[in-house]
Structure 1
């Protein structure tokens, strides 16, 4: 007997996937909504998912990896994940999603907008077909914000000081966003610092930010430098114009690598 096709929308807790869930609510009533929970997310992310779940009137299924971040950190020899070694996405996001899907034929809905020039990568399994409704229908960032405002959801609170969803220690954060974490969640900043290590024999440092430890970044003079020379998301009120603006040429830490879609949409 041929299996029926499942329709699944994977949420990150970010604006684009959340807006897509709102957008698709009445278009695909049988949609399954899932969130791959690393247990290292911001409290604001969980709060926003609860609001979204209430709006959808349908449970958002929380998927957890069989082994958590700390286990995989040991497996990878203490090497913190980076843009060139994204083991966290594979082990904590993609693998739980693919295990949930199994071998069923699935249409996976991805929140890439019409004004984004990039391809979506969620899974390479042959039974998973990706669809991009925002691209198909010409939905841009302005319309995403309108969808969220009209739904009553608005933006997640972390957008006051952060530009994307993901773990609180996500290595894709700009230095200004690390400052935002330190100021908004000092306890999480301290936990992130504990992951950084130095090999006593070789002197090699394992840090979230290339060339700088969080302890160095948190020094008052360094914080002042970051705030004075870079755009700090929480330094002024969130406005529609600021959210819509592309990253400035002076924004810190952008090395050209894009965050993993399943984490940050």
Structure 2
């Protein structure tokens, strides 16, 4: 994906007048953090960042291949193994510049605040920094109701049991919004864009890839497992890790996502 020697790289600009304070800075810091680990995935290179824009090196497209997908899986394992200071930790460059500020999750035109901080375990983090905040956001927008809130509380109470064999995993360095649209396929393999980077559970990124159907998903998972086998029963936790992004879609887009979220809440609430 290199340009001719000495040529300026092709630029892709993301821009929004009146973007939430820190939105583009958070994304730029997330890309930098994800680019650090040796053997990790390629990320779009930041060329410039301002209050209302982010300039990235443009990625030339190519078809996804099974070989590139398997390499992406191994690279994601290396990224996750690089770790994070805590569950909920935001990219260090952003957290240091804006102590106490939230991150962001969602589209450019309507990103939801994503709480950051430091939680002692994944169950506490998922309950306090993801599930309860998103149902509160849904209630504020009139999309979710008191019954949904009660279901979320039942799920939160069951999280240690639902986490099962993965409960003791250490914080992983996550892309955080790894649906298939945030994986670009280039002649040199996969390139990641648009992160909501934070310290979380390694299974979350993989569940996001499955949520909307990444190409060659089986090869991605095979490459990951060869580099870092997942905890026993991970297949049964995919839906648990998909609850937050599905609920975000319900809050942002309503419609069928609300029904899907409620069905998943009832499933997980037991």
Structure whose residues are more often helix by fraction? 2
Fold-level match, TM-score > 0.5?
Answer: no
TM-score, structure 2 length as denominator? Answer: 0.31
